[in-house]
Amino acid sequence: MKPPRTKPPRVRSLRTAAGALAATGALLLSAACSGGPGTRAGGPEAAAPSATGSPAASPAATAAPPPASRGGAPALRGSYVALGDSYTSGPRIPPQHGTPEGCERSGRNYPALVARALRVPAADFRDVSCSGAVIADLASPQGVPGGANPAQFSALSPRTALVTVGIGGNDVGFIQVLTRCVQAGVMRGLGLGGGSAAPCRDSYTPAGLGLLQRRIDTAGRDLEAALGEVRRRAPHARVLVLGYPELVPASGAGTACSSLMGLAPGDVAFLHDHERRLDAALRRAAGAAGARYVDTRTPSRGRDACSPAAVRWIEPLSPASAAAPVHPNARGERGMADAVLRSLGAPDGPG
């Protein structure tokens, strides 16, 4: 399923409420199929490699994108394998390439930019990220439109020198939470949801909030175990775990998050905190497994989906740039690539 390209209707009256809710639900749930911070079986995310994993299908074998950092970084000795979901694969960012098509891999996603900056030969670059991937898909084939993406671990070998891992959002049901919050915000705007500034947060019982936290904790444990398998298969590799960039700011950001994301002011903070806790779990998992955590949250501040189109890294419900709803655009993928390169000691900051 592909995120729809039409904009959701603007809510003007009670008569249009059902249509607006259906449209926002369609946008978010189909974006979930593409993979944002956590979907599929209950989360927002997705994206991956060629079914065969052949070098010819990798972004490095297509028209080369510009370097992510102007100063570059020392050339990598060995292969580079990129594992992850849609925040890694870059759905709808042209050029899309590789098989199966349902992985929605972009030749301008952060793995492609990192590979170019490190001067990785096409034969040594394996981008096996896939839209909608959950942590279990690292070890098992993932069915997507157009075929099946092989287990992402299959790209690893003792020759692997660098591994980047960007996954976990789809395991925690983030898109479902976001959908619920958008619907609550629309109802509040129609005067149907009561006077709460955070109707979505308030709709969760203590048990429901506890379930959200348990999903995050479970994703952290599962990632830690998966990183152990990465180490077993690629014992000489540097392993980097990427957190998710900010989807929404820490507060309501005036009317921007209401108009662009349909969120009530208090629910902006609620979603921000939910994503922050997911990133914290990913950081803990990386540390426990001896991997390096790459913070993309800090450099993305002020560049969230509620920010002006000229600076944002993440597109809102109706994208202004070529990208899936609530997913990184080309600017966001470049920012994530720069964060990886800084972590590897590249001399420059964001390019």
Q: Which whole number is the average pLDDT over 278-286? A: 98
Give the residue carrying structure tokens 């803990």.
284
Q: What is the DSSP string of 285-342?
A: HHHHTTPEEE--HHHHTT-STTS-TTT-SB--SS-SSSS-TTSB-HHHHHHHHHHHHH
Instruction: Report the pLDDT value the prediction gives residue 36, as an integer from 0 to 100.
Output: 54
Q: Which of 17-26, 138-147, 252-261, 341-350 has the highest mean pLDDT?
A: 138-147
pLDDT at 52 over 50: no
The answer to whether residue 236 is catalytic is no
Res 291 pLDDT > 80: yes
pLDDT top residue among 254 and 220: 220
- 86 tagged catalytic: yes
Angle, alpha carbons 160-166-171 (nearest 5°): 130
Active-site hit among 97, 272, 274, 327: 327
Percent of the chain surpassing pLDDT 70: 76
What's residue 13's pLDDT? 37
* Residue 201 backbone zone (phi > 0: left; psi -120 to 50: alpha; other: beta): alpha
How sure is the predictor about 255, in pLDDT bands with cuts at 50, 70 and 90? confident
Q: Among 34, 69, 86, 300, which one carries the catalytic annotation?
A: 86
Q: Are strands 96-97 and 79-84 parallel, antiparallel or unpaired?
A: unpaired
Grade residue 191 by pLDDT with cuts at 50, 70 and 90. Answer: confident
CA–CA distance from 22 to each of 7, 29, 64, 186 (Å)? Answer: 12, 10, 40, 11
Under 8 Å CB-to-CB from 135, ≥6 apart: which residues? 167, 168, 171, 219, 222, 223, 226
Q: What is the mean pLDDT of the chain?
A: 83
pLDDT higher than threshold 80 for residue 16: no
Determine the pLDDT at residue 188.
Answer: 86
Q: Which amino acid is at 282?
A: L
Residue 267's pLDDT band (boundaries 50, 70, 90)?
Answer: very high
**Residues 95/100/103/104 CA torsion (nearest 10 deg):** 20
Spatial distance between the Cα atoms of 101 and 105, rounded to a whole number of angstroms: 8
Instruction: Look at residue 19 and tell me whether its pLDDT is greater than 70.
Output: no
Closest CA to 350 of 308, 306, 303: 303
Q: For a pLDDT cut of 90, what percent of the chain falls above it?
A: 68
pLDDT at position 43 is: 37
Q: Which amino acid is at 251?
A: S
Name which of 71-85, 117-131, 146-160, 270-284 the model is least confident about: 71-85
Contacts of 3 (CB under 8 A, 6+ apart): 27, 30, 31, 33, 34, 91, 92, 324, 325
Phi and psi of 157, rounded to 5°?
-160, 170
- pLDDT tens digits for 98-125? 889 999 999 999 999 999 999 999 999 9
Position 215 scores a pLDDT of: 97
DSSP 8-state class, residue 346? -
Closest by CA position to 240, among listed 141, 327, 114: 114
- Which pLDDT value is given to residue 31? 52
What confidence score (pLDDT) does residue 5 get? 38
Q: What is the largest CA-CA distance in the chain?
A: 62
The two tokens of residue 51 are 């079914």
Digit-coded pLDDT (tens) for 292-331: 999 999 999 999 999 999 999 999 999 999 999 999 999 9
Residue 30's pLDDT is: 53
In sequence order, the β-bridge partners of residue 96 are 106
Is the dihedral angle over the CA atoms 130, 81, 227, 139 positive or is it negative?
Answer: positive
Task: Evaluate if residue 79 carries a pLDDT over 90.
Answer: yes
Sign of CA dihedral 89, 90, 91, 93: negative
Contact 68, 337 (CB under 8 A): yes
Residues making up the chain, counted from first to last = 351
What local confidence, expressed as pLDDT, does residue 280 receive?
A: 98
pLDDT at 50 over 80: no
Cis peptide upstream of residue 49 (ω within 30 degrees of 0):
no
Question: What separation, in Å, do the N-terminal and C-terminal C-alpha atoms of the chain show?
Answer: 34
pLDDT tens digits for range 140-181:
999 999 999 999 999 999 999 999 999 999 999 988 999 999
Neighbours of 222 (CB within 10 A): 18
Select the highest-mean-pLDDT range: 184-188, 194-198, 281-285.
Answer: 281-285
Chain centre distance of CA 247: 10
Q: Is the pLDDT of residue 219 over 60?
A: yes
H or E segment to which residue 206 belongs: helix 206-233
